[in-house]
Structure 1
Amino acid sequence: MFNHNATNIAIRKPEASGKFSSKSAWNAVRLKTAITPWSSTIWFKGAIPKHSIVSWKAIINKLSTTDRLSFLNSGQNRRCILCSTEPETVNHLFFNCGFSSWIWRSILWRIGTQRRLKKNVAEEEQWIRDNFTGEGQRTTALKYGFQPTIYHIWRERNSRLFENKVNHKTQILRHVIQDIKVKINDDNRRDTPNDANRKAAHLFR
């Protein structure tokens, strides 16, 4: 902390235990804000950073979709490059697009859930929080499935737009499932394997 009217000195605040740590120093200087309700779905132990960042940007509507960039090029085709039926927006891509909704429904089907998808990605994330809590088999599967689904759909969108490379939706689904299996296996290697993880892995065999 700095005092512009006096000699600057470093101030370190201890934790409740009375001990100093890098965490206590960070808490002393950082700007504290309310914890967002979706933080547990996006920022959790073992999450893949690139998956978390893309998912976070999707939920707060900060991905560079064509509706957000159209002011840069008035002649730009605003149609979704995955389905060519609707203008591309974050809410269309996740998961109102026929291409992406098929992938997400396929993940839900593997954990025994069939339902009408929510109208936007933020409501879909809230549905996960409202209906899946604890550390059970289906909760584990959904926690590890939500982010890679968003990530690989966004990656396919960029691949088509910037590289003219097209993958079938079944290939994208395989990539998502592979990432889910890697995360579950990583958990089993790092921690003591638990019944929920074993059962969740079985869902994606």
Structure 2
Amino acid sequence: MEGTQGYEINHQTQLHTKLALLETDVFIEILSRTSLKTLHIIRCTKRHFVPSSGAKNFDIGCLPKAFTILATALNKLIFGECDNADEYPNKFLFVCKPTTLDAKSLSFSIYKYIAVKFAMVVTRSNPLHFKIILLSYAEPSDLTNDHGYENFQVELFHSTTWEWRDLGALKWRWELDPSGTYPVSSLRNYIDSTILPCSDEKWQWNPLIIGKLNILAWRISYGRLPTIVNLSKIGITQSNLCKICGVAPETENHLFIECGTAKDLWQRIAGWWRLMDPNVQAIKDLLNCKSVLKGHKRLEIIHEGIMLVFLWVIWNFRNLKAHSSGAKSLSVLAYEVQSMSAFWINARNRKGVSLRWLDWCCDPIRECYANM
């Protein structure tokens, strides 16, 4: 091939490569993706030589003859140390950039792959000593089963552009922050945006009801409740039928809206409270039930609080059916909604006045206006 030079390579070696991030290493996907997208080398100074057309390639005789093969080194940092510090630089840095994604498999056990087309920049503290180097092609020649691999030729097809780079002019830059520094919050936000689901629904914390009920509603709004259908998405397989009715797949919408028990219980609560829509069709409408009372701030919060207690009672009943085959009547479930909501509202009533139980059960709206 025109424009190639041969160099004898010994894979037994004077040079040991240490990969900071190797393509074939077993990394958690998010960490690998984050590293590739956010950490970059900034080259502050560089000079170019462009050979004239048809000219012979620039002499790169400063390459050591005994040189370790690069193993799958596409677009990665490799740190090298030389055993013979008197003859070669003790430490230098390789920045390898791909021109294609091809790779060849080698049959000997020490190195399994070699990048077919790559660009390699070699730098050290004295750029005049270790000049170039852009290598855009590397391919083992005559690697057959009959050939001994202690010594073999590697052809180096040189790029038309040569670069000098000073190791002292290199620095890390964090691309997720405009300043180039590394704030933990930028990584946290990146990971959140990558692995957490996006939803148009937002849950606003209800201060009248305890935290675990708010968290339950938040998980429902983002589709993160461990229903049977959601568990099957992460490989936990079992019958996907609703644990309460056993009729349809257990989704959030079915469990709290379409299931016969949930539907009947909600109609009872709507009849008791009188301001709630008894025929809610979707989970997002249920979570946004307080919108019908817009302008009555205190009633909005209480209205939503009763809905949260309803979700909690249904979810607990579902878990009871799933784990112990227990049963409760509709009247018992309705009583739990009334009693739990009264208890939690009384505990957080800023006026210090408790709701009267009989009045709460008979006319909750009037009782709220009187004591809240």
TM-score by length of 2: 0.39
Gap runs ≥5 in structure 1 = 6-29
CA distance in 2, matches of 1:142, 1:174: 17
Specify the SS of the correspondent of 2:240.
coil
Cα deviation, residue 116, structure 1: 5.3
Q: Does 1:95 align with 2:257?
A: yes
2:246 counterpart of 1:84: yes
Q: Give the drift of 1:89.
A: 0.6
Identity of aligned residues (%): 20
Structural mapping, 1:112-191, within 5 Å: 112-113=274-275, 115=277, 117-126=279-288, 128-135=289-296, 139-188=300-349, 190-191=350-351
Aligned to 1:45: 207
Q: Deviations over 1:7-35 (max 9, x none)?
A: xxxxxxxxxxxxxxxxxxxxxxx97xxxx
| Alignment-mate amino acid for residue 160 of structure 1 | K
2:122 alignment partner in structure 1: none
Contact 1:91 1:120 in 2 (8 A): yes
| 3-state DSSP of counterpart to 1:39 | coil
Change (3 A) 1:111 1:46: closer
Alpha-carbon shift at residue 180 of structure 1 (Å): 1.1
Aligned ranges 1:98-109 → 2 under 5 Å = 98-109=260-271
User: Following TM superposition, by how much is the alpha carbon of 1:174 offset from its aligned partner in structure 2, in angstroms?
Assistant: 1.2
* SS of structure 2 residue aligned to 1:83: coil
| Native 8 Å contact 1:65 1:88 kept in 2 | yes
Q: CA–CA distance in 2 between the matches of 1:194 and 1:131?
A: 26
Could you tell me whether the CA contact under 8 Å between 2:223 and 2:252 is conserved in 1? yes
Cα deviation per residue 1:27-49 (whole Å; 9 max; x = unaligned)? xxx97xxxx87533xx1223211
More strand by share: 2
Does the residue aligned with 2:327 lie in a helix, a strand or coil?
Answer: coil
Per the alignment, do residues 109 and 137 of structure 1 end up closer, same or farther by CA in structure 2, a change over 3 Å counting? farther
Which of the numbers 250, 269, 272 marks the counterpart of 1:110? 272
Helix, strand or coil at the partner of 2:264: helix
Q: CA deviation at 1:137?
A: 7.3
Deviations 1:43-102 (A, max 9, x none): 12232111111111112111111111235354x222112122211111101211110111
Kindly name which structure, 1 or 2, has the bigger radius of gyration based on alpha carbons: 2
C-alpha distance in 1 between matches for 2:277 and 2:332: 23
Q: Conserved in 2, the CA contact under 8 Å of 1:152 and 1:172?
A: yes
Partner of 2:42: none
Q: Distance in 2 between matches of 1:69 and 1:99?
A: 22
2:363 alignment counterpart: 203
Give the structure with the higher percent helix: 1
* Pairwise CA distance, 1:114: 6.6
Matched positions, count:
168
Change (3 A) 1:38 1:192: farther
Residues 1:141 and 1:105: Cα distance change in structure 2 (over 3 Å):
farther
RCO higher in structure (CA 8 A, sep ≥6): 1
Partner of 1:8: none
Shift of 1:168: 2.0
Over 3 Å counting, the alpha-carbon distance change for 1:162 and 1:184 in structure 2 is same
Alpha-carbon distance between aligned partners in 2 of 1:123 and 1:114, rounded to the nearest angstrom? 11
Structure 1 78/201 Cα, relative in aligned 2: closer, same or farther at 3 Å? Answer: same
Q: 1:37 to 1:81 in 2, by over 3 A?
A: closer
Distance 1:38 1:129, change over 3 A: farther
Which residue is 2:229 aligned to?
Answer: 67
Q: Distance in 1 between matches of 2:361 and 2:202?
A: 24
